Amino acid sequence: MQLNTGRTSEAQREIFMVIDVGVSTTDFGVFLLQHNPDKEVCLTRIIHGHD
């Protein structure tokens, strides 16, 4: 018998942007969240910038 735990055996990736609006500057970063069921979650920053 096989139980459905809701987990998939494939790696999953999500990309998202964080924006910090300050008084005189705006900083941002684009991040990639990669989850592999066989490994720990890895968070990697792709782009960092400010205006």
pLDDT of residue 2: 46
Tokens of 32: 């990639």
- Cα separation, 44 vs 32, whole angstroms: 5
Q: Give the pLDDT means over successive 10-residue stretches in the chain (51 positions).
A: 55 86 88 78 70 60
pLDDT of residue 7: 58
What separation in angstroms does the CA of 46 have from each of 16, 30, 40, 50?
A: 10, 6, 19, 14
pLDDT of residue 3: 45
DSSP bridge pairs for 45: 31
pLDDT of residue 8: 58
The answer to pTM > 0.85 is: no
